[in-house]
Amino acid sequence: MDSIDVLIVEDEVGIAELHAQFLRQMMRFRPVGIANTISMAKTMLKVNKPNLIILDNFLPDGLGIDLLRSIVADKSDSKPDVILITASSEMETVKEAMHCGCFDYLLKPVSYVRLKDTLNRYVQYHSAMNAYDNISQRHVDDLFNIQAREKSANTLPKGIGELTLDKIKQTFIENTGIKYTAERLGEQVGISKTTARRYLEYCSANGFLDAENEHGRVGRPERVYVKSN
């Protein structure tokens, strides 16, 4: 099975290495280079000819969205797909990315749970694109359904937001074995203790977390949560 070559365009070295390490842990993906600037990215695009670019928007010599525009304008037959990552939540940037055919658009700090979902869909999309010489309407419909982010069959309950849930799950994934109280999690994620407790109990009920009562030095037992094995 062919690998999917990925170029990472990110000026923060630590983050770029995290992206590369994450890609190596997933089947099919092979990081073929890291570019710290748009200029370097353009050179590496010609040399490495990646299938996919994970592209930061804010770079030392310009905007990633401008690189995306130049890729779209390129007349060559083989063009890489793009996942745009940015700290900006401005709607105009989102609209432009969609207009340019960006495969997905993620906000910093990147949730690797969310990125994994995107990459899994890209594998399906990439395989489907290369599966047929002649395409039918059903195949076209399948491609569009893959590219559109699939919604969970079970909608989230009231009071549980997808972005906050992803952020909390990522916190536990990055800190496996560490126990969190609602207060500690709230401080780390930036939500109230009451809100944190609601998400923690939801994750516990769904098997993502284990919950237990831990006796402190004084007062009543405190409820703590840790990622399930």
pLDDT tens digits, one per residue of 133-156: 556 665 566 555 555 555 443 467
Residue 168 contacts residue 185 (beta carbons within 8 Å): yes
The predicted pLDDT at position 109 comes to 81
Q: What percent of the chain has pLDDT over 70?
A: 85
| Lowest mean per-residue pLDDT among 118-122, 151-155, 221-225 | 151-155
Average pLDDT, the chain: 85
Mean pLDDT of 175-181: 91
Residue 101 contacts residue 72 (beta carbons within 8 Å): yes
The predicted pLDDT at position 130 comes to 65
Q: CB neighbours of 23 closer than 8 A, spacing ≥ 6?
A: 6, 8, 29, 30, 31, 119
Q: CB neighbours of 78 closer than 8 A, spacing ≥ 6?
A: 49
Tokens of 141: 């419909």
The predicted pLDDT at position 87 comes to 76
Mean pLDDT of 104-110: 86
The predicted pLDDT at position 151 comes to 46
Residue 84 pLDDT exceeds 70: yes
The predicted pLDDT at position 152 comes to 44
pLDDT tens digits, one per residue of 182-219: 999 999 999 999 999 999 998 888 888 999 888 765 66
Gap between the Cα atoms of 195 and 71, Å rounded = 43
pTM of the model: 0.62
Beta strands 52-56; 4-9: pairing state? parallel
Element (H, E) at 113: helix 112-129
pLDDT tier, 43 (very low <50, low <70, confident <90, very high otherwise): very high
| Lowest mean per-residue pLDDT among 13-22, 134-143, 169-178, 205-214 | 134-143
| Lowest mean per-residue pLDDT among 29-33, 81-85, 96-100, 213-217 | 213-217
The predicted pLDDT at position 92 comes to 82
The backbone torsions φ and ψ at residue 225, rounded to the nearest 5 degrees and listed phi first, read -130, 140
Q: Which of 51, 45, 41 is nearest to 11 (CA)?
A: 41
Does the bond joining 109 to the residue before it have cis omega, within 30 degrees of 0?
yes
Q: Which residue(s) pair with 162 in the sheet?
A: none
Q: Domains along the chain? A: 4-144 (3.40.50.2300), 162-227 (1.10.10.10)
Would you tell me how many other CB atoms lie within 10 Å of the CB of residue 35?
A: 24
Mean pLDDT of 65-72: 94
The backbone torsions φ and ψ at residue 79, rounded to the nearest 5 degrees and listed phi first, read -120, 140
